Structure 1
Amino acid sequence: MEIKLNLLRLIALLLIRMPMAITLPETSCNRLKIGENWFDKKVVWAQSGRPYNLNVHKSTNSLFFSYSTPETYSDLDFQLVTINLDTGEKHTIAGIRGGCSVAIDEVNDEIYLGGTDGIYKYNMLTRLADFYKEKGKNIWSLFYKKNLFYISYPDQKLHIEIDEKFPLVEEFENIEMTHFHVTSDNYIYFANKTGLFKYNSKEMLFELINHLITVRQIVEDGDGELYVCTNVGVYILTIEGMVKILNVKNLYGLAFDRDNNLIYSDEKRIVKLLYSEKGCLSHKEW
């Protein structure tokens, strides 16, 4: 009995002297930090081919985008795809040769798609794209704000739909552009090989914002904040200028879903960021 009691005392003494277990934060995790907030990275799409021109149809929370098809990668042949962000259901959009551009009129629930042979309208119920206008025109980019705009290729000229026709926009007749965006207060942002510019339509003044970046997309979030996706990261445009929020290379597209979650694409993936209350022990912004 005495031996048993001594053994129990020894075990109790060892337990008292043993250090308490310490739970450490994760040293590596699938999150990134923007400002003071952490976000989980959820992969929405992962295939070969760079995803471009991300746009979200808010009423169905469906992401539209184009990607370069692997077999003709060097020729920049594109295919359009839509993914429901709630269910994960994916559809490849048939019937648009070289489909590479998307614009969405949320008010009238119209979805415009562009390819190497004109502009189409997409029907969410039938999953079909019907020809709309500009037969034979190569559509580089589409944008909708009260009117439908498109940039033609290879001349990179901006057109606007007026009275069922698409004349050149007079203020930009002599300007090439690759990306175009109109804000709610009618400031026009556009980009080309020489940089990112702002046009004040009231005062008819052009302003160079940055000549060192390559713009991949210009988008607004659900709060009307303006973002620029570039070859060296993501910027938010403020009154003071450009503020980088993601210091990362090789991004190709940017969008915001119905809940204002940021979605980006890199060379092979589309990723949605979801707010996380947890962080990582050591981290980089990417």
Structure 2
Amino acid sequence: MKLFLLAALVAIVSAGEHKLKCKTVSVRGKIHKKDVLASGINRPYQLSMYKHEHKIFFSYNVGKNEEDTFEIGYIQMGEKNVTAIKGVLNGFASTVDEENHHVYLGGSKGIYKYNLKNNSESLEHIVSGHNIWYMFFYKHLYFIDFPSQTLYVYKKNATDPGQVHRCDIKDKIYQYVIDNDGDQFITTDSGLYQIKKGSNERHLYSDIKLFRGAALDNTGHAHFCSNHTIYATNKKNYTLEEIAYVRNVFGITFDSQNNIVYSDPKNIVKLLPGNCD
């Protein structure tokens, strides 16, 4: 399953264990300490934050390294244990609709809506016939199908029970976000591009061939991560700004205080301003 990119992820995983002592990293030139939220997880990937309850959702491998079997789980901020979500076969992607208290979970059998309102935590199967690679929520639910790497959108309103439509972007896409200006960002085999709102106008930001994660901060500013770097987009000159160097980054998201949360091959880590005590 999803072997062609996962092989690249596995190749960089080091065998050594992380030391428990406090470590720091520079973020935009300012010292931040690493707060390890959870450890001992096998390749936590595709992070998404439900800010109402400070829950971080992610996929992770529960099989052997050479026989990947993925599952979706979450950690509650302040707790170290992973809570697995059963019922999503080969769970590989998640995204959050904060306003409506929904988390969408994607796997090899489609998409499930996980309702967190009033602590009901019900799981509803809403999209079938797609093997889900990646998801992003902005007014509607966008998802990328595997192995075609085609972008789709799932739309639902009061009079529509929900329909899937193929988007008009023809590229094979690996990550997709829409920022606070309504501009789209896509990663492809040839790099990272911005597509201006309401047009087909494109701008190349980077020719990096492998990005691992994408997320918006709390201001709606698009961020991406590659093997060892977390980037912010600079829309004034269509470039990526390296804001933090962290080895073996697998995914990124932001908490309710706009702190960066990232994963590496075994841990989920939050970056907090300040030095070690």
TM-score normalised per structure 2: 0.83
Q: For the residues of structure 1 that align with 2:154 and 2:41, how far apart are their CA atoms? A: 35
Report the equivalent of 1:248. Answer: 246
Report the equivalent of 2:47. Answer: 54
Report the equivalent of 1:131. Answer: 125
Q: For the residues of structure 2 that align with 1:66 and 1:95, how far apart are their CA atoms? A: 13
Render the CA deviation track for 1:222-276: whole Å, top value 9, x for unaligned.
Answer: 1232211112311111123211012234211001111111111111111111222
Higher normalized helix content (fraction of residues): 1
- 1:40 and 2:33 are equivalent in the alignment: yes
Select 1:225's aligned residue among 221, 224, 228: 221
Deviates more, 1:157-166 or 1:84-93: 84-93
Render the CA deviation track for 1:164-220: whole Å, top value 9, x for unaligned.
Answer: 1111112x1x21101100112111001122211111133321222211341111111
Secondary structure at the counterpart of residue 192 of structure 2: strand
What letter corresponds to residue 99 of structure 1 in structure 2? G
Secondary structure at the counterpart of residue 163 of structure 2: coil
- 1:156 and 2:149 are equivalent in the alignment: yes
What letter corresponds to residue 54 of structure 1 in structure 2? L
Q: For the residues of structure 2 that align with 1:32 and 1:65, how far apart are their CA atoms? A: 23
Distance 1:59 1:89, change over 3 A: farther
Cα offset for 1:87?
4.2
- 1:237 and 2:229 are equivalent in the alignment: no
Where does the alignment leave 5 or more consecutive residues of structure 2 unmatched? 1-20
Secondary structure at the counterpart of residue 212 of structure 2: strand
**8 Å Cα contact 2:248-2:265 kept in structure 1:** yes
Cα offset for 1:70?
3.7
**8 Å Cα contact 1:104-1:112 kept in structure 2:** yes
Secondary structure at the counterpart of residue 181 of structure 2: coil
For the aligned residue pairs, the C-alpha RMSD in angstroms reads: 2.0
Report the equivalent of 1:198. Answer: 194
Q: For the residues of structure 2 that align with 1:127 and 1:34, how far apart are their CA atoms? A: 36
**8 Å Cα contact 1:93-1:129 kept in structure 2:** no
Cα offset for 1:94?
0.5
Distance 1:88 1:123, change over 3 A: farther
Distance 1:157 1:43, change over 3 A: same
Q: For the residues of structure 2 that align with 1:29 and 1:83, how far apart are their CA atoms? A: 21
**8 Å Cα contact 1:96-1:129 kept in structure 2:** no
**8 Å Cα contact 1:213-1:230 kept in structure 2:** no
Q: For the residues of structure 2 that align with 1:205 and 1:76, how far apart are their CA atoms? A: 38
Higher Rg = 1
- 1:144 and 2:137 are equivalent in the alignment: yes
Q: For the residues of structure 2 that align with 1:180 and 1:32, how far apart are their CA atoms? A: 27
Secondary structure at the counterpart of residue 161 of structure 1: strand
What letter corresponds to residue 257 of structure 1 in structure 2? D
- 1:207 and 2:203 are equivalent in the alignment: yes
Aligned residue pairs total: 248
Distance 1:249 1:36, change over 3 A: closer
What percentage of aligned pairs have identical amino acids? 28
Select 1:104's aligned residue among 96, 99, 102: 96
Cα offset for 1:81?
0.8
Secondary structure at the counterpart of residue 131 of structure 1: strand
1:79-98 aligned within 5 A = 79-88=71-80, 90-98=82-90
Distance 1:213 1:153, change over 3 A: closer
Render the CA deviation track for 1:1-43: whole Å, top value 9, x for unaligned.
Answer: xxxxxxxxxxxxxxxxxxxxxxxxxxx9522222332222111
Cα offset for 1:108?
1.4
Higher normalized strand content (fraction of residues): 2
